Amino acid sequence: MAVYTLPDLPYDYSALEPAMTGEIMQLHHDKHHAAYVKGANDTLEQLAEAGESASPTATVGLEKTLAFNLSGHVLHSIFWQNLSPDGGDRPDGELAAAISEYFGSFEAFSKRLSTATTGVQGSGWGVLGYEPLSGRLIIEQLYDHHGNVGVGSTPLLVFDAWEHAYYLQYRNVRPDYVARLWDLVNWPDVARRFADARAGTPSLPNR
Ligand code: MN
């Protein structure tokens, strides 16, 4: 039985137009995200089988494959909820105060997250996260789906920098795509994730 399932988008495929076309959203959700869900489920089964092997190396490659696919599933599930047809503008309340405290201003923060996202070499994500050891917000640059972030950080706002997220519409101009993402950010969702992470109960999407 599958452990993970593909969540529905919280809006229609075309709801984020013109910033993101329905064609991109349908492919991104139905093909790419679905592949990570299947990959995570398949790899769990393979790990269960490999775990019965006497070889200590039988599971090593599979663990990396699980990390890639499971993280891809988690990040896309958050990404869909981070965006909204009614998004944009700026956060308020405690999230706004924390952004000012840790990055100086909203402008400085948005510039840094944009730079982290556009500067990903190859495929990855720009991430605003909550780092629990220091209790602060942190910007991280995630390679593929599972590399280059601190253990324990909770993603609050994630920007997909994989070419599949924008190439059909923005071609090679990743900065234009990232600039438009800001018009879609669902700040109440990000603020809810921030509050939950600080309370020690990070809100992840459904499985
Ligand atoms: Mn993606």
Backbone angles phi, psi at 147, to 5 degrees: -130, 150
- Residue with token string 């093909």: 31
Task: Tell me, yes or no, whether 61 and 145 share the same domain.
Answer: no
Question: What per-residue confidence (pLDDT) applies to 206?
Answer: 57
* Grouped pLDDT means (10 residues each) for the chain, 207 residues: 93 97 98 98 93 80 95 97 97 98 98 98 97 96 94 95 97 97 97 94 68
Cα distance between residue 171 and residue 166, in whole Å: 7
Do 191 and 131 fall within a single domain? yes
**pTM here?**
0.95
Among residues 82, 110, 126, the one where a domain terminates is 82
Q: Residue 33 Cα, ligand 1 centroid: separation in angstroms?
A: 7
| 104/176 same-domain check | yes
Q: Please tell me the distance from the alpha carbon of residue 27 to that of residue 21, in angstroms, as a whole number.
A: 10
Q: How far is the CA of 166 from the centre of ligand 1 (A)?
A: 9
135 and 62 within one domain: no
CA within 13 Å, CB half, 122: 5
76 alpha carbon – ligand 1 mean position (Å): 6
Give the pLDDT confidence score for residue 59 in this predicted structure: 86
Q: Given this model, what pLDDT does residue 58 score? A: 81
The domain boundary, picked from 82, 101, 125, lies at 82
Number of domains in the chain: 2
User: What residues make up the domain containing 145?
Assistant: 93-198
Note whether residue 203 is domain-resident.
no
CATH code of 135's domain: 3.55.40.20
Buried b (16+ CB within 10 A) or exposed e, 100-127: eebbeeeeebbeebbebbbebeeebbbb
pLDDT at position 140 is 97
Assigned domain for 13 exists: no
* Confidence (pLDDT) at 53: 78
Report the pLDDT value the prediction gives residue 10, as an integer from 0 to 100: 96
What's the gap in Å between 200 CA and the centre of ligand 1?
27
Q: Based on the domain organization, do 75 and 107 belong to the same domain?
A: no
Distance 181 CA to ligand 1 centre (A): 13
Q: How far apart are CA 84 and CA 183, in angstroms?
A: 9
Q: Is 88 part of any domain?
A: no
Distance CA 23, CA 44 (A): 31
